[in-house]
A and B are shown apart, each in its own frame.
Chain A
Amino acid sequence: MNPVLRDAVVQMVPYGSRVLDLGCGDGAMLAYLQQQHGCSGYGVEIDDANVLACVKRGVEVVQLNLDQGLSMFDDQSFDVVLQIDTLQHLRNAQTMLVETVRVGRMGIVTFPNFAHWPNRLSVLLGRMPVTKKLPFEWYDTPNIRVGTFADFFSLAKKNQLHIQDAFGLQDDGVVRRWPNVRAATAVFQLSALNN
């Protein structure tokens, strides 16, 4: 787990929160939140190896396909719902975004920012980018969509989500100036507008 991303997320999560981590991978983030930040909760994962890894590290995990929705979880039943680099793998990213703020009082969404300048440069030169944040060739990437920091703003607006904070991340830390150009990772802290 990238420590800059981890620290940025942990800063937004109130101590002792009940956390639902959508696409929790091997459970590293939740394990950290449990051990260092007094949190409890569950990860949601589809991959067998990741489910096993979670059980091994003592992270509660529920094996579900996120594309089937979050009917397992009640409205506002978690303090925080995480979508850490999950959105780019989802078929129904928009629905899942709405679900995230239905289930959680706060949603934290991160994803690779396709408008980061090296990506722009690469496309300008006629090739899809292969970078640290987007390390796959176009023909074998597990990401089924790419989007930009700026795109997410308009999606959030369209779905009447309240953006509590938004910034970019680079290896050396938080990017608040021109994140759509200067940051490889986009980070959004959200809630339902009517909260």
Chain B
Amino acid sequence: MSFIVSPQSLSFDQPLQLQGGGVLRQYKLSYETYGELNADRSNAVLICHALNASHHVAGSYLAEDKSQGWWDNMVGPGKAVDTNRFFVIGVNNLGSCFGSTGPMHINPETGRIYGADFPVVTVEDWVNAQARLLDSLGIDQLAAVMGGSLGGMQALSWSLQFPHRLRHAVVIASSPNLNAENIAFNEVARRAIATDPDFHGGHFYAQGVIPKRGLRIARMLGHITYLSDDVMNSKFGRLLQEGEIFKYSTQEVEFQIESYLRYQGDKFSEYFDANTYLLITRALDYFDPAAAYQGNLQQALAKATAKFLLVSFTTDWRFAPARSREMVKALVANQRQVSYAEIDAPHGHDAFLLDDPRYLSLVGAYFERISLEEAA
């Protein structure tokens, strides 16, 4: 059993200008904190989430079985990000569906549910909102911002948007932008959702339906890309779901991998919001800090003053090591302090959430260093 935590929420009335031109006049952010903020408010660590996660990073909710946070193996008392030393903040991003203002909430301007009218939000917008949460918590400077995948993009963006508000950026299994193949996967997922007859142009809430078919397909596709060929083969191979002979059916589940993907899709469609999926994959697509510098990442990262730890996983083909190396190269060219580990793990992109002792002890050693600097 993990430690007990409870979510909190803060409302903001100061309008948030969005990169895409829209404005959120008022919004709320759900967040959780673990550990104690020290007297000089210097030990705060912000954890940014990826596509389908939330502010519930670590710990468990009281009397709720299986309610461990999504990075509970990484964050907690005595863990790599040690909450006995650090004050850790997890925050749910705008447009998500776990408590912070999102498409399933009421648009105060129309009195109706936002649905498809929820403004497009970007990584930069999220970081701006996170910064306001820190203002409210009285934290000027973070010891570190950390995230994996899309969360890593937020950590990188923090170092560019607010270079003096963080000392370290920990960017795991991430990328300085998505390549065409990656955008293509996102687009297939979005089309699966948007063409579901139950989607109703994003205003399905009023119809009392949920575009579950689209969500299932989106999740099945996503799930394939988060795993590696090797791990799928070793886990499922060509094993059949029932018996040892084919049913010779085109529609029934035949192979175990089909059953697994269907199960993952069903589970996801029960709790995830369709508009959120569209919004968050779009935020992934749009992120590209080098774009303002004609694609020159070195120039783009010149603003960053934080120290960096980057980690990638050898079998991650969705956020491949080569993409992390691009960031390392740009940081080295700017003479920034950066360390980079390439973990030889079989689990593909999912590896960043899993228990690999090399990975966890590396991150732990890095945070140990941060806390020693802290004490110095």
Stretch of A71-79, A92-100, A129-137, A175-183 on the interface side: A71-79
B351 to chain A: closest CB distance in Å?
A: 14
Which B198-232 residues have a C-beta within 8 angstroms of A? Answer: none
Inter-chain contacts of B369 with A (CB < 8 A): 55-56, 58
Stretch of B18-26, B142-150, B251-259, B332-340 on the interface side: B332-340
Q: For the side of the interface on B, what is the size category?
A: 20 to 34
Given A48-B358, A63-B340, A63-B342, A55-B335 contact (CB < 8 Å) = no
Q: With an 8 A cutoff between CB atoms, is B266 at the interface? A: no
Inter-chain contacts of A72 with B (CB < 8 A): 325, 328-329, 332
Inter-chain contacts of B339 with A (CB < 8 A): 42, 51, 54-55, 60-62
- Taking a contact as CB atoms under 8 Å apart, the answer to whether A61 and B366 are in contact is no
Inter-chain contacts of A55 with B (CB < 8 A): 309, 339, 341, 362, 365-366, 369
Q: With an 8 A cutoff between CB atoms, is B368 at the interface? A: yes
Q: With an 8 A cutoff between CB atoms, is A18 at the interface? A: yes
Q: With an 8 A cutoff between CB atoms, is A52 at the interface? A: yes
Task: State the main secondary structure of chain B at its contact with A.
Answer: helix
Inter-chain contacts of B365 with A (CB < 8 A): 52, 55-56
- Taking a contact as CB atoms under 8 Å apart, the answer to whether B368 and A51 are in contact is no
Q: For the side of the interface on A, what is the size category?
A: 10 to 19
Count chain B CB atoms within 10 A of each CB in A58, A64, A77 and give the residue with the most: A58
A131 to chain B: closest CB distance in Å?
A: 33
- Taking a contact as CB atoms under 8 Å apart, the answer to whether A52 and B358 are in contact is yes
Given A55-B369, A56-B365, A63-B341 contact (CB < 8 Å) = yes
- Taking a contact as CB atoms under 8 Å apart, the answer to whether A77 and B333 are in contact is yes
Picked from B340, B342, B344, B362, the residue with its CB within 8 Å of the CB of A52 is: B362
- Taking a contact as CB atoms under 8 Å apart, the answer to whether B337 and A60 are in contact is yes
Smallest CB gap from B328: residue in A = A62
Given A42-B332, A55-B365, A72-B325, A62-B358 contact (CB < 8 Å) = no
A12 to B137, CA, bound (A): 51
B32 to chain A: closest CB distance in Å?
A: 28
Count chain A CB atoms within 10 A of each CB in B337, B361, B365 and give the residue with the most: B365
A72 to B298, CA, bound (A): 12
Picked from B338, B343, B344, the residue with its CB within 8 Å of the CB of A62 is: B338
Inter-chain contacts of B332 with A (CB < 8 A): 42, 62, 72-73, 77
B211 to chain A: closest CB distance in Å?
A: 43
A159 to B335, CA, bound (A): 29
B142 to chain A: closest CB distance in Å?
A: 20
A52 to B358, CA, bound (A): 8
B17 to chain A: closest CB distance in Å?
A: 37
A56 to B367, CA, bound (A): 10
Inter-chain contacts of A18 with B (CB < 8 A): 335
A107 to B307, CA, bound (A): 27
Inter-chain contacts of A64 with B (CB < 8 A): 340, 342
- Taking a contact as CB atoms under 8 Å apart, the answer to whether A60 and B358 are in contact is no
A86 to B344, CA, bound (A): 22
B168 to chain A: closest CB distance in Å?
A: 12
Which B300-348 residues have a C-beta within 8 angstroms of A? Answer: 309, 325, 328-329, 332-333, 335, 337-344
Smallest CB gap from B366: residue in A = A55
A164 to B13, CA, bound (A): 67
A77 to chain B: closest CB distance in Å?
A: 7
- Taking a contact as CB atoms under 8 Å apart, the answer to whether A62 and B366 are in contact is no
Given A58-B369, A72-B328, A51-B341 contact (CB < 8 Å) = yes
A36-65 vs B: 1/0 string, CB under 8 Å? Answer: 000010100000100110111010111110
Inter-chain contacts of A52 with B (CB < 8 A): 358, 361-362, 365
A63 to B310, CA, bound (A): 10
Smallest CB gap from A59: residue in B = B339
B170-208 vs A: 1/0 string, CB under 8 Å? Answer: 000000000000000000000000000000000000000
Inter-chain contacts of A74 with B (CB < 8 A): 333
Count chain B CB atoms within 10 A of each CB in A40, A58, A62, A77 and give the residue with the most: A62
Smallest CB gap from A42: residue in B = B332
A64 to B338, CA, bound (A): 14
B290 to chain A: closest CB distance in Å?
A: 17
Picked from B329, B333, B338, the residue with its CB within 8 Å of the CB of A60 is: B338
Inter-chain contacts of A48 with B (CB < 8 A): 341, 343-344, 358
15 new A-B contacts at CB < 8 Å, known A51-B341, A60-B339: A18-B335, A42-B338, A51-B339, A55-B362, A55-B369, A56-B365, A56-B369, A60-B338, A62-B332, A62-B338, A63-B340, A72-B325, A72-B332, A73-B332, A77-B333
Which 10 A/B pairs are nearest by Cβ-Cβ distance? A55-B365, A63-B342, A62-B340, A56-B365, A63-B341, A48-B358, A72-B329, A60-B339, A61-B339, A51-B341
25 A-B residue pairs with Cβ-Cβ distance under 8 Å, sorted by A, are A18-B335, A48-B343, A48-B358, A51-B339, A51-B362, A52-B358, A52-B361, A52-B365, A55-B339, A55-B362, A55-B366, A55-B369, A56-B365, A60-B338, A61-B340, A62-B332, A63-B340, A63-B342, A64-B340, A72-B325, A72-B328, A72-B329, A73-B329, A74-B333, A77-B332
